[in-house]
């Protein structure tokens, strides 16, 4: 293989499972097989994004992948809520927006926790063999209907988002791993998901300067190592190309106007906003032509390499751009520090303390006299497939109500529909059985789901259950917007609470507060129809 093609390949980042075995791949459509990975890494591919498996397995996996390459690889992951969000056994922390809301009343505490958050994430990433964290999210989630950013943002206003994102970045830097401000120039005010389609943001430059750009400016000033592009169309800047493929956005705005000199990486090119409109080679060439340095998850890695190789060989892309991207990659790797992998302990006592501090600071509950005990129904809605990481078999959301006599009923996308055609009484209560209902909603806004979950009539359900005197309690895990909406119609004596995070420890703490004194029986309160 000629040297030019290997130099091009070094700027490609491919997707791999964190599991060692091909049969364990969770998303084989996107996660390359070991034989494909061996071939691509031997050919010079320079980066891998990982998902799935345990943190201990990830230690082995990064060593394995590095052994298939003759250059130092970039190993990254989307661990916006701590390494445990993606890899079991590490710390799964609160979503960033939890601290954004805490910042309203306790700004100093929120900043302190955000920096500890970044340090914990960076240290654990490093222990697993990762050297690049794809965060902080610098989007301003000023649109509650946003289906894909939502609780991933550090704030709902530019000042908060910038302040906490830079605190997180300081924590990452102290740990010796790279950070990544995303999704430039701002994905917070979109109402559709770029995993599924191309959002359009029609704001003028003046509005971008006021709302979307300040957190990115703050992150750049704080020394963030890389910036990830957004797959969205900004017709006021470029009518023809999504931001990822736009020189007006990546070169004129990001490089020249904001003065960013670090690595520019595309968001995953396999997402439908790009893959649905461009083939792999064309997308890679247009992205690099626009100003990107690294190509993340092309739909076909070999095709992307071939397309870039041809563009450099024919002169469509100047070799100077290749040299610049290579130098930025080299300088970024110099800023990383390594940890000797071998200690099985990923999370230490300091990390465990942070987990507890975040939960204590961010959950809220109003438990009057505690939930009425069963027999009754523990009705859970989860915004994904079931079982899921938040609802493993021993999850407190399942176990604790069961101990009080509630029967678990889980609603999920592949299950039986709970709805009936009545806007005032939308829940089919006859399918649930008798007794008090504890309603637990795991809804937060997730990629690939669009606005499906936002269309569900939970406000009407709460009102329906209250009219029937069957609502024993309410727990919302995830979206603060859903919690605000339901809290507004709750009767004051209904035990209820909210957790931004869906992890088991948050469930345990919230339900422990809601259960209160579990000596009250269903017969002591009227739950008849």
For the chain, domains (ranges, CATH) are 76-334 (3.20.20.300), 363-524 (3.40.50.10870)
Instruction: Choose among 78, 58, 54, 55: nearest CA to 66.
Output: 58
pLDDT at 308: 98
pTM, two decimals, is: 0.92
How far is Cα 153 from Cα 147, in angstroms, rounded to an integer? 12
Q: β-strand 12-17 against 47-51: which pairing, if any?
A: parallel
pLDDT at 526: 35
User: For 51-76, how does the pLDDT look when each residue is reduced to its tens digit (9 = 90+)?
Assistant: 999 999 999 999 999 999 999 999 99
Look up residue 104 and give its DSSP letter.
Answer: H
Look up residue 415 and give its DSSP letter.
Answer: S
How far is Cα 386 from Cα 391, in angstroms, rounded to an integer? 8
How far is Cα 465 from Cα 484, in angstroms, rounded to an integer? 18
pLDDT at 447: 52
Instruction: Choose among 62, 34, 47: nearest CA to 128.
Output: 62
pLDDT at 1: 59
pLDDT at 529: 34
Low-confidence spans in the chain with pLDDT less than 50: 448-450, 518-529
**Chain position carrying tokens 């940890």:** 339
The catalytic residue positions are 195, 267
**Chain position carrying tokens 């290579």:** 326
Which helix or strand (DSSP H or E) is residue 251 part of?
A: none
pLDDT at 521: 37
Residues near 323 by Cβ (< 8 Å), separated by ≥ 6? none
Instruction: Choose among 41, 57, 165: nearest CA to 103.
Output: 165
- Nearest 5°: the CA angle 274, 298, 118 is 95
Phi/psi for 337 (5° steps) reads -120, 155
């Amino acid at each position: 293989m000629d040297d030019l093609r290997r130099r091009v390949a070094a700027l490609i980042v491919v997707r791999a499972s964190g599991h060692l075995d091909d049969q364990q791949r969770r998303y084989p459509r996107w996660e390359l097989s070991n034989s494909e990975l061996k071939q691509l890494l031997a050919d010079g591919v320079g980066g891998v994004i990982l998902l799935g498996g345990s943190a201990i397995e990830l230690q082995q996996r990064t060593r394995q992948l590095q052994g298939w390459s003759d250059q130092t690889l970039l190993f990254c992951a989307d661990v916006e809520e701590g390494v445990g969000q993606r890899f079991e056994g590490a710390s799964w922390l609160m979503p960033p927006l939890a601290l954004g809301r805490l910042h309203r009343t306790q700004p100093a505490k929120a900043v302190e926790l955000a920096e500890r958050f970044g340090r914990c994430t960076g240290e654990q990433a490093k222990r697993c063999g990762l050297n690049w964290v794809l965060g902080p999210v610098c989007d301003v989630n000023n649109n509650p209907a946003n289906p894909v950013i939502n609780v991933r943002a550090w704030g709902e206003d530019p000042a908060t988002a910038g302040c906490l994102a830079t605190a997180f970045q300081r924590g990452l830097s102290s740990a010796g791993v790279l950070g990544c401000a995303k999704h430039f120039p701002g994905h917070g005010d979109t109402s559709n998901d770029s995993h599924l389609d191309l959002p359009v943001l029609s704001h003028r430059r003046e509005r971008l300067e006021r709302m979307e750009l300040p957190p990115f400016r703050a992150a750049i000033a704080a020394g963030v190592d890389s910036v990830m592009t957004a797959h969205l169309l900004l017709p006021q800047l470029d009518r023809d190309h999504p931001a990822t493929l736009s020189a007006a956005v990546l070169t004129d705005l990001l490089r020249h106007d904001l003065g960013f000199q670090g690595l520019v990486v595309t968001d995953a090119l396999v997402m439908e906003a790009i893959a649905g409109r461009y083939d792999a080679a064309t997308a890679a060439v247009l992205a690099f032509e626009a100003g990107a340095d690294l190509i993340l998850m092309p739909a076909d890695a070999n095709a992307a390499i071939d397309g870039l190789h041809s563009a450099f060989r024919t002169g469509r892309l100047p070799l100077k751009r290749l040299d610049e991207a290579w130098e930025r990659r080299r300088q970024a790797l110099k800023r990383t520090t390594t940890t000797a992998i071998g200690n099985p302990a990923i999370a230490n006592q300091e990390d465990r303390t942070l987990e507890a501090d975040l939960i204590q600071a961010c959950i809220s509950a109003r438990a009057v006299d505690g939930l009425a005990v069963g027999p009754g129904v523990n009705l859970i809605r989860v915004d994904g497939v079931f079982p899921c990481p938040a609802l493993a078999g021993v999850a407190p959301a399942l176990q604790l109500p069961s101990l009080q006599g509630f029967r678990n009923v889980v609603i999920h996308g592949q299950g039986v529909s709970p709805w009936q055609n009545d806007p005032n009484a939308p829940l089919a209560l006859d399918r649930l059985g008798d007794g008090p209902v504890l309603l637990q909603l795991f809804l937060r806004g997730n990629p690939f789901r669009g606005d499906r979950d936002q269309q569900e009539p939970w406000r009407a359900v709460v009102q329906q259950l209250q009219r029937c005197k069957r609502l024993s309690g309410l727990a919302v895990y995830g979206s603060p917007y859903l919690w605000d909406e339901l809290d507004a119609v709750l009767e004051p004596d209904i035990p209820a609470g909210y957790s931004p995070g869906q992890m088991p420890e948050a469930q345990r703490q919230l339900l422990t507060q809601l259960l209160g004194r579990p000596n009250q029986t269903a017969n002591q309160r009227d739950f008849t129809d």
